[in-house]
Amino acid sequence: MFTIPETFIPLLWHFSGLFSARVWMHAQVLVIGAILCPGTRTVSAVLRVMGLSEERNYSKYHRVLSRAVWSARKAGQQLLKLLLDTFLPSGVVVMGIDDTIERRKGKKIHAKGIYRDPVRSSESQVVKVSGLRWLSLMLLVEIPWAQRVWALPFFTALAPSERYHHEQGKVHKTLTDWARQMFKQVRRWIPERTLIFVGDSSFAVLDLLGAANQLAQTFVVSRLRLDAALYEPAPEREPHQMGRPRLKGKRLPTLKDVFNDTQQVWQSLVVPHWYGNTEREIEYLSATAVWYHTGKPTVLLRWVLVRDPKGEFVPQAFLCTAINADPVDILSWFCRRWFVEVTFEEMRAHLGMETQRQWSDLAIERTTPVLLGLFSLVTLMAHHLHSQHPMVLPQTAWYAKSLPTFSDAMACVRRSLWSTRLFSTSTSDKDMQKVPTDILHLWCDLLCYAA
């Protein structure tokens, strides 16, 4: 029988109300086992690492994902509340949104489609893959003991393929349709905070930006095309003027023309967290404009045009629907988005994403969001442990590690779980063979850092 360390009991208790008493006991086994389990994150692998390989009624653990009544969406709401209370109790909430492809095959996986694989594709070669598309919202917040921003997933939705929707007789929902619904859901969860959603160019869509403008204190930061049709705001109506109100004013030069204009006065700025979390000197221009397209919502935005004084990267443009935002803040918010890709990579390396093998529709819809949420849960656990005893980092003669990464957080949590004797190993044989301390520590480290 396993026991949970006292440090983690208050943390896990917040999720107990989502399950019945019996299902909650089984759910805890799956959560703890998924943290301890190296390699694949199948239910059988979890039971094996929890010492339940002789459990004959093993199907009850499968039913937690495939049949039990509980809501992954409500679990995401509770997880977001814990993350905000722990890392960001006040201030502006910055969230990253992005999609990822979980490579899966099989006739029983109905929602799969053929997509471009962003991990394996490049500018010169496009790689297509069969799999499931997931859209994930992550809290972009600085972790004090890591001294850098981490992207912490809390809300993930499956975006089925167009073929699946046609087979089901449903109207296909694009990624931006799913993003719009997720924005509204999070706005209902935390109505009192200012929300900044940061996404790549896939989310620079007028329909989505217009929907975000309808929500109170909700803004979007994204890339902007250099050839976007920008206009001045519509002039004020004169008294007794006839006709419909104008939506836009005079056409403005494109950002490409602005970049080529030698009369522009560029401002210098050192961005502390550019690619690779390094400082980078850039030059920028900024102004407000109306982005307009026939038949689409009219969006008032602030654009920021960036160039490299050294000429090492092409000019880039960014938009923010908060027109009064400082350009420095806009660039800072967008730079945080790059940590979303780091989280996806850590998920595949350390939490077995793409190794699960569920076939039922409900289990598929639950497993990947739970695994992504497990990334944030491990971070919360490591934070509680670090507040009691500072995290010890692995050191070698050839590499002195100064700041912890997610692999260190994972190892810290695993070490705490193993040291609490999760399940009984008592036997009638009292003979013991002692292991040298240095060898025991080596085995412990190898086990804790197993991916």
The per-residue pLDDT for range 397-432, each reduced to its tens digit, is 888 888 999 999 999 999 888 877 544 444 555 566
Question: How far apart are the two ends of the chain, measured CA to CA in Å?
Answer: 25
Share of the chain above pLDDT 70, in %: 94
List, for residues 133-171, the tens digit of each pLDDT value.
999 999 999 999 999 999 999 999 999 999 899 988 999
Residue type, 329: D
Give the pLDDT band (50/70/90) at residue 439: low
**115 three-class SS:** strand
Give the pLDDT band (50/70/90) at residue 90: very high
Give 305: exposed, middle or buried? Use CB within 10 Å, 0-12, 13-18, 19+: buried
Residue 108 pLDDT: 86
The secondary structure of residue 61, as a DSSP letter, is H
Give the CA radius of gyration of the chain. Answer: 25
Residue type, 336: R
Angle CA(432)–CA(433)–CA(438) in degrees, nearest 5?
130
**387 three-class SS:** helix
Among the residue ranges 45-49, 350-354, 421-425, the one predicted with the least confidence is 421-425
The encoded tokens of residue 60 equal: 């009850």
Q: Are 76 and 156 in contact (CB under 8 A)?
A: yes
Q: What are phi and psi of 113, to 5 degrees?
A: -150, 180
Nearest to 226 by CA among 304, 281, 308: 304
Element (H, E) at 329: helix 327-336
Measured between alpha carbons, how far is 175 from 134 in angstroms, rounded to an integer?
9
Nearest to 359 by CA among 52, 45, 65: 65
List, for residues 287-317, the tens digit of each pLDDT value.
999 999 999 999 999 999 999 998 888 999 9
Nearest to 148 by CA among 375, 405, 395, 360: 405
Nearest to 284 by CA among 309, 262, 261: 309
List, for residues 198-232, the tens digit of each pLDDT value.
999 999 999 999 999 999 999 999 999 999 999 99
Measured between alpha carbons, how far is 370 from 375 in angstroms, rounded to an integer?
9
Mean predicted lDDT score pLDDT of the chain: 90
Say which residue the tokens 């026991």 belong to.
3
Element (H, E) at 440: helix 437-448
Measured between alpha carbons, how far is 83 from 138 in angstroms, rounded to an integer?
10
Supply the angle between the helices 338-350 and 361-388 in degrees, to the nearest 10. Answer: 100
What mean pLDDT do residues 99-115 have? Answer: 90
Give 407: exposed, middle or buried? Use CB within 10 Å, 0-12, 13-18, 19+: middle
Indicate the length of the chain as a whole number: 451
Give the pLDDT band (50/70/90) at residue 273: confident
